[in-house]
Amino acid sequence: MRFTQSLLLASVLNLTLSATVFAASPDWSVYAQALHAVKAGNKHDTPLNVVNYSALKKSGQLEAAYQVIKNFPVETLASKEEKLAFYINTYNILALKMVLDNFPVDSIKDVGNVLSPVWKKTAGEIGGKEVSLDAIENDAIRKMGEPRIHFAIVCASVSCPDLRTEPYTAEKLNKQLDDQAKSFLNNAKKGLNEDGKVIHVSKIFDWFGKDFKTVGGIEAFIRQHHSGLSKAAIETDIDYDWSLNSVDE
């Protein structure tokens, strides 16, 4: 009897632990399906992952992915990795949703204007609360002190980092963020290029320069994620193309 009770207790404990793990990790399978609309391509002579927005709108998969984050109990997120993965995916889903809700547009910035920029507009709900892209980025993600997020959150534009073709997960997050940073800095059209005198890099490093202080500064970060660079000065002056990261239709 005592042995049976022990087995029963162990089974209940295992179920409880499994439920806890599940609760802290959303089911990203529908979002993974939505990301099938993302393919390697080229726009304005810039290699990037382009999005087939027409197909994505027709499939309804992004709306299903949005329902996952809208109804997910964010209070169950425990570790920094769980929170970062959740909010990075959330930002990217809501940026895509913002485009689809207003499609067709030439740029996500066309959804807003000077007095009411798109970043400040309500993009959706999380846990019953309305949120903007600006709030997710600045009030949730950036406060966690991880500069590599700037190469993972994607504002639906050509010069943004590439939209990854898989969801971010807590288990793979460190590798995924490293991969995103290296991939972006190896894209000469929007990440980094060197002309022998100057190392030209994205304006992202200018806009969010203070975020890189936690890893020794902009130059230290760039040299860590891009090998073989000269000792030339770094300038954050690559033109930023805000055109939609869409396939040519």
Structural domain boundaries, residue 206:
191-240
Co-location of 216 and 156 in the same domain: no
Residues 154, 211 within the same domain: no
Q: CB–CB of 168/85 below 8 Å? A: yes
Write the DSSP assignment of 161-179 as a string of letters: PPPPSS---TTTHHHHHHH
- Domain count within the chain: 2
Identify whether 20 is part of a domain.
Answer: no
> What are the pLDDT tens digits along the chain (249 aa)?
443 334 333 443 343 333 334 447 799 999 999 999 999 999 999 999 999 999 999 999 999 999 999 999 999 999 999 999 999 999 999 999 999 999 999 999 999 999 999 999 999 999 889 999 999 999 999 999 999 999 999 999 999 999 999 999 999 999 999 999 999 999 999 999 999 899 999 999 999 999 999 999 999 999 999 999 999 999 999 999 999 999 975
pTM of the entire structure? Answer: 0.90
Where among 140, 171, 202 does a domain terminate?
171
Whether 225 and 139 map to the same domain: the answer is no
Residues 59 and 159 in one domain: yes
Our measurement of the distance from residue 55's CA atom to the centroid of its chain's CA atoms, rounded to an integer in Å, reads: 21
Same domain? For 197 and 232 the reply is yes
Alpha carbons within 13 angstroms on the beta-carbon side of residue 206 total 12
- N- to C-terminal Cα separation, the chain: 69
Q: Do 222 and 105 share a structural domain?
A: no
Looking at this protein, which amino acid is placed at residue 232? A
Amino acid 249: pLDDT = 56
46 with 85, same domain: the answer is yes
Task: Output the pLDDT for position 22.
Answer: 42
12 within domain boundaries: no
3-state SS, residue 132: strand
Query: Cis ω on the peptide bond leading into residue 161 (within 30° of 0)?
Result: no
Contacts 24+ apart (CB under 8 A), 134-139: 136/87, 136/90, 136/91, 136/94, 137/91
